[in-house]
């Protein structure tokens, strides 16, 4: 079974994340969206809201599961029997950062990282841009799936 973990904070889940997940569905039998807990990161949305955004969008897709975790991503992968980490790459900066993490993960485990380039139409989207739009009452809905709601 080809099982992958797609880790991130997903604060919030964007059309860029959605693009990577949709395009990776044919590659894996199961994808666990791993919402990492990072005590150094202040999030805008609660863990349950972030889980809900993704679960609501993919409610009819049995290949996608959503879980939160803390600690190392490779440990989360091992706990869940995942042999791949899925990452999206928007630009050269992302690649250089992700390459170092992927090499470290491979050195510490047998888990391979699979990179997908973001689509041109979503390559400019980041969660931090979306949060900035939300804080300043901008039209963020153009950058997130319909499942992302602000209460």
Of 41, 42, 107, 137, which is the active-site residue? 41
Candidates 24, 50, 87, 127; catalytic one: 127
**Is 103 annotated in the active site?**
no
Say which of 23, 78, 90, 99 is annotated catalytic: 90
Confirm if 126 and 11 have CB atoms less than 8 A apart: no
Separation CA 3–CA 46 (nearest Å): 26
Per the annotation, the verdict on 119 as an active-site residue is no
The yes-or-no answer on residue 90 being catalytic is yes
Q: Of the listed 17, 24, 50, 87, which one is catalytic?
A: 17
Buried b / exposed e along 20-36 (16+ C-beta atoms within 10 A) = bbeebeeebebbbbbbb
What does the alpha-carbon distance between residue 48 and residue 67 come to, in Å, rounded to a whole number? 10
9 catalytic? Reply is: no
* Burial class, 47, CB count within 10 angstroms (exposed 0-12 / middle 13-18 / buried 19+): middle
Which residues are designated catalytic?
Answer: 17, 41, 90, 127
């Amino acid at each position: 079974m080809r099982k992958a973990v797609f880790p991130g904070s997903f604060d919030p889940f964007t059309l860029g994340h959605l693009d990577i997940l949709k395009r990776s569905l044919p590659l894996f039998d199961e994808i666990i969206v791993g919402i990492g807990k990072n005590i150094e990161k202040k999030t805008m949305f609660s863990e349950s809201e972030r889980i809900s955004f993704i679960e609501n969008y993919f409610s009819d897709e049995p290949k996608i599961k959503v879980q939160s975790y803390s600690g190392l991503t490779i440990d989360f992968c091992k706990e869940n029997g995942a042999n791949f980490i899925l990452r999206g790459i928007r630009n050269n900066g992302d690649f250089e950062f992700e390459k170092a993490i992927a090499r470290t993960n491979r050195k510490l485990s047998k888990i391979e990282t699979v990179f997908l380039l973001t689509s041109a139409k979503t390559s400019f989207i980041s969660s931090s841009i979306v949060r900035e739009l939300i804080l300043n009452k901008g039209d963020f809905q153009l950058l997130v799936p319909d499942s992302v709601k602000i209460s």
